[in-house]
């Protein structure tokens, strides 16, 4: 088979040119990074888990009519997605105080927020993805006023969907980050959910014990990251019981 053309290599994923125009193959690596890649490791099986979990969440969004880039999963580590122009923002939705917001505002982690709070960070690794306001976004032309209305609506719909799915399996959705892409259909531009939705980009706490089932396990050295992600996958029925990300097809 001819070698595929690599389009972009990120910290956790590599993008290759897809088989048809307007498509991209998204390959999930086992690399884990935190604190703008100051901390890094390779965690066997993480890529497989995130590929399957992102497929699960994106398919769920499609079912409720939230547009997203997912087309189909190709194999254990790759999925076919729609090519899009990524809006240079990380869109964060928070239901409970945690992480950088808890620190910035001096709020104890786990405190319920009066309503979901949406934050925007400018996607720039060299700057450490700084928090920005809608004033910055408008003034620098990263997104228009109409785009921002659409982005807010997408973010809140994803929050409602993900919170509900997680609640159903005894997990609290503390916060998450999504990325948004632009696709062009003739003269028309549409915004869709892109990148990935996985425990790398969410905070997920067990409702009973408060146990962390997300990338904070790696950031804060709390134990096995694959055990945590496998638990999420197992509860959602994404990973058959008895299977592991290294032996993902084993069915008991």
Look up tokens 């399996």; give the residue: 169
Q: Angle of helix 225-236 relative to helix 46-63, nearest 10 degrees?
A: 30
- 50-58, 159-167, 172-180, 241-249 -> range binding ligand TMP (CB under 6 A): 172-180
Q: Which of residues 33-72 bind ligand TMP (CB under 6 A)?
A: none
Which of 15, 17, 78, 99: binder of ligand TMP (CB under 6 A)?
99
Which of 43, 61, 87, 101: binder of ligand TMP (CB under 6 A)?
101
* Residue of closest CB approach to ligand TMP: 99
Q: Which C-beta is closer to ligand TMP: that of 143 or that of 204?
A: 204
DSSP label of 247: B
Phi, psi values for residue 147, rounded to 5°: -55, -45
Which of 14, 68, 163, 201: binder of ligand TMP (CB under 6 A)?
201
3-state secondary structure of 45: coil
Minimum distance from CB of 176 to ligand TMP (Å)? 5
Which of 55, 147, 150, 175: binder of ligand TMP (CB under 6 A)?
175
| Torsion sign (Cα): 243, 247, 250, 252 | negative
Spatial distance between the Cα atoms of 128 and 36, rounded to a whole number of angstroms: 6
3-state secondary structure of 177: strand
- 1-9, 48-56, 69-77, 195-203 -> range binding ligand TMP (CB under 6 A): 195-203
Q: Which C-beta is closer to ligand TMP: that of 46 or that of 177?
A: 177
> In three state form, how does the secondary structure of 195-246 look?
CCCCCCCEEEEECCCCCECCCHHHHCCCCCHHHHHHHHHHHHCCCCCCCECC
The encoded tokens of residue 94 equal: 């928070």
Q: Does 116 bind ligand TMP (CB under 6 A)?
A: no
Residues that bind ligand TMP (CB under 6 A): 92, 98-101, 129, 175-177, 201-203
């Amino acid at each position: 088979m001819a070698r595929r053309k690599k389009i972009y290599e990120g910290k956790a994923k590599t993008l290759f040119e897809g088989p048809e125009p307007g498509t991209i193959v998204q390959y999930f690596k086992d690399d884990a990074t935190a604190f703008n890649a100051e901390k890094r490791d390779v965690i066997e099986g993480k890529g497989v888990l995130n590929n399957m979990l992102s497929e699960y969440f994106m398919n769920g969004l499609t079912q409720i009519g939230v547009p997203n880039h997912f087309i189909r999963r190709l194999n254990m580590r790759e999925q076919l997605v729609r090519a899009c122009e990524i809006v240079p923002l990380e869109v964060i939705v928070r239901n409970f105080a945690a992480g950088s917001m808890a620190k910035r505002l001096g709020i104890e982690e786990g405190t319920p927020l009066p309503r979901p709070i949406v934050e925007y960070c400018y996607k720039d690794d060299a700057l450490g993805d700084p928090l920005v306001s809608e004033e910055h976004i408008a003034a620098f032309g990263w997104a228009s006023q109409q785009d921002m209305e659409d982005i807010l609506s997408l973010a809140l719909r994803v929050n409602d969907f993900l919170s509900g799915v997680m609640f159903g399996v005894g997990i609290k959705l503390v916060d998450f980050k999504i990325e948004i892409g632009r696709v062009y259909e003739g003269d028309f531009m549409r915004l869709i959910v892109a990148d990935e939705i996985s425990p790398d980009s969410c905070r997920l706490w067990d409702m009973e014990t408060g146990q962390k089932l997300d990338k904070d396990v790696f950031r804060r050295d709390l134990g096995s990251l694959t055990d945590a992600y496998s638990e999420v996958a197992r509860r959602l029925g994404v990973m058959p019981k008895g299977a592991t990300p290294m032996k993902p097809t084993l069915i008991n």
